[in-house]
Amino acid sequence: MEDAELKSMFTDLIWLNALIATELIQVTENTSAILRKSSPPETCLKDHQDLRATALAIAEKYHKETALARHLGKHQ
């Protein structure tokens, strides 16, 4: 593989891992809400929002103009 191909592959993988991380956070919140029959604690929601923002920043560092930011804005 050439350097350009490797760089492209790694940027795609970094973006994809950030996407998976944000979706996993949402699955965790949803599962917690189902088990508790109420929303997760506010401290967890705040931490999760911060973690989503970090993952989004990493993703956008390598791939701008994707639907990820718009999608994350819809997570509750």
How confident is the model over 26-45, as pLDDT tens digits?
999 999 999 999 999 999 99
How many structural domains does the chain have? 1
21 CB-contact burial (10 Å; exposed 0-12 / middle 13-18 / buried 19+): middle
Give the model's pLDDT for residue 76.
Answer: 65
The percentage of residues in the chain with a pLDDT greater than 90, rounded to a whole number, is: 62
Q: What is the mean pLDDT of residues 54-63?
A: 88
pTM: 0.79
pLDDT of residue 5: 95
CA distance 44 to 10: 31
43-64: average pLDDT: 90
- Domain span holding position 17: 3-74
- pLDDT value of residue 31: 94
The pLDDT value recorded for residue 66 is: 85
**C-alpha dihedral sign at 22, 12, 54, 61:** negative
How far is the C-alpha of 29 from the C-alpha of 46, rounded, in Å?
Answer: 11
